[in-house]
């Protein structure tokens, strides 16, 4: 494992001054983007005494931070309130205040275009705002997931247009976020942090910054290595999920319970890591990150066949779920057209309020296009607004007995803990379960069809 060398000497006045301010928690920290990554990061910095300015183009979000009105599940309400009251955390839409910051951390979205190419426009826009105020003695770190080379090929040239030199006047690093919304065990503080600097001095300062708030910081040789580390982590998950999803579809034809197979295989104490099947992949990373890598690979005349195949399988599984619903309705002499379908759960995973890239959106669109009447219940997602190619505009309905009994079929797409599945199965005519949420239901199992 690489170690960080103390390369800053008394001759490196700018670097030495900045490192000292960081070590004393006197450095002014700026965080661009106050979403699932940025706000928890800002709070962690503030909790150890750093003054933090949060930047966002969303004025409503800024107002909520300044009112200590928490909107991120991984942030404790009392922590946010305490920091705001002490003046250690303020939010603004005024990017001119970047000039006040010694540390600037970019935590903005990196979606895909409609053609599945990387969209780094938010990174570029943030960097342009920094360029206008860049001064000696600042470190800029990028945390947004992106393709290998972004920091060096996109951000660095923009910053050096100012005439300032990296590693001497300002410092640049990449340190990928590793946020897992809703994870009660691992938070920003106790999740290992990878960091790569543009120069050895950049790495030393970035490492110093992150060890102030994170238990284990892992240095690597370059920003590109750190960028690829992040993409690899989520590609690994995407590929393994695709494998078990493909096995699920095979098990369906063979009449074998995939859940029984996966759970039995998971009892082996070595040589296997358990991945579970489902209706597709969702979230801010797994459906997106592999495409960053495949896009970059083409620059090197390299075709990532394995990764692209995994993406195809994970898309195909959503169509498989729709077909499963059709077959389930046919088994009770009901057509999908004009069928009343109740969807349970639209968040991309259980017990969170995050629906980014949720497979539920695709499945609901497909069902509706085939004539089904769709309603949904999700205790974490009160409203679905059209976004990201989805045209759905729906509000969550109460999970009443009448709703359950009047539906032709209930489709479980997210297995939220708060839902009483014994009751759901008892009241429903038919249940298609894509998450094995009904595994402990004892009565009326003849109504349950699992994927």
The Cβ of residue 443 has, within 10 Å, a number of other Cβ atoms equal to 9
- What pLDDT is recorded for position 115? 78
What's the count of helices (H) and strands (E) in the chain, helices before strands? 15, 15
Q: SS3 letters for 95-159?
A: HHHHHHCCEEEECCCCCECCCCCECCHHHHHHHHHHHHHCCCCEEEEECCCCCCCHHHHHHHHHH
- What pLDDT is recorded for position 388? 66
Mention every residue, 6+ apart, whose C-beta is less than 8 A from residue 23: 208, 212
Domain 240-450 has what CATH class? alpha beta
- What pLDDT is recorded for position 222? 97
Distance between CA 355 and CA 348 in Å, rounded?
5
Domains 13-221 and 240-450 share a fold: yes
The residues annotated as belonging to the active site are 285
Specify the fold of 13-221.
Rossmann fold (3.40.50)
- Hey, what are 117's tokens? 């190419």
- What pLDDT is recorded for position 392? 86
Domain locations along the chain: 13-221, 240-450
Name the stretches of the chain with pLDDT < 70: 388-389
Closest CA to 376 of 353, 404, 405, 357: 404
- What pLDDT is recorded for position 221? 97
Element at 448 (helix H, strand E): strand 448-450
Closest CA to 410 of 352, 315, 329, 310: 329
């Amino acid at each position: 494992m690489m170690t960080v060398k103390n390369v800053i000497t008394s001759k490196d006045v700018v670097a030495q001054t900045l490192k000292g301010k960081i070590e004393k928690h006197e450095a002014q920290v700026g965080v661009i983007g106050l979403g699932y990554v940025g706000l928890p990061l800002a709070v962690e910095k503030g909790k150890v005494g750093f003054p933090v300015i949060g930047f966002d183009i969303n004025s409503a979000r800024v107002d909520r931070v300044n009112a200590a009105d928490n909107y991120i599940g991984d942030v404790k309400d009392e922590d946010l309130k305490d920091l705001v009251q002490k003046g250690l955390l303020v939010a603004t839409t005024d990017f001119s205040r970047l000039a006040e910051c010694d540390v600037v951390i970019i935590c903005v979205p990196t979606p895909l275009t409609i053609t599945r190419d990387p969209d780094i426009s938010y990174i570029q826009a943030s960097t342009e705002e920094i360029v206008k105020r860049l001064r000696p003695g600042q470190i800029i770190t990028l945390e947004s997931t992106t393709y290998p080379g972004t920091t060096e090929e996109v951000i660095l040239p923009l910053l050096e247009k100012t005439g300032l030199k990296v590693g001497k006047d300002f410092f640049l690093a990449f340190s990928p976020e590793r946020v897992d919304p809703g994870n009660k065990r691992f938070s920003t503080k106790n999740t290992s942090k990878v960091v790569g600097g543009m120069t050895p001095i950049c790495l030393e300062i970035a490492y110093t910054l992150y060890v102030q708030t994170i238990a284990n910081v892992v240095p690597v040789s370059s920003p590109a290595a750190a960028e690829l580390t992040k993409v690899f982590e989520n590609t690994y998950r995407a590929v393994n999920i695709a494998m078990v999803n493909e096995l699920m579809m095979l098990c369906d034809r063979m009449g074998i319970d995939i859940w029984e197979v996966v759970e039995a295989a998971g009892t082996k104490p070595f040589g296997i890591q358990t991945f579970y099947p489902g209706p597709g992949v969702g979230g801010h990373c797994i459906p997106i990150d592999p495409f960053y890598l495949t896009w970059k690979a083409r620059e090197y005349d390299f075709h990532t066949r394995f990764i692209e195949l995994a993406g195809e399988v994970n898309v195909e599984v959503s169509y498989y779920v729709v077909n499963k619903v059709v077959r389930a309705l046919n088994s009770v002499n009901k057509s999908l057209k004009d069928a009343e379908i109740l969807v349970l759960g639209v968040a991309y995973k259980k017990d969170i309020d995050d629906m980014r890239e949720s497979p539920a959106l695709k499945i609901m669109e497909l069902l509706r296009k085939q004539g089904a009447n769709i309603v949904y219940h999700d205790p974490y997602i009160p409203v679905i607004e059209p976004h990201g190619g989805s045209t759905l505009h729906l509000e969550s309905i109460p999970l009443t007995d009448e709703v359950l009994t009047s539906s032709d079929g209930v489709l479980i797409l997210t297995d939220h803990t708060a839902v009483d599945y014994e009751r759901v199965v008892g009241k429903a005519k038919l249940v298609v379960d894509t998450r094995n949420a009904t595994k402990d239901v004892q009565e009326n199992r003849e109504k349950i069809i699992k994927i």
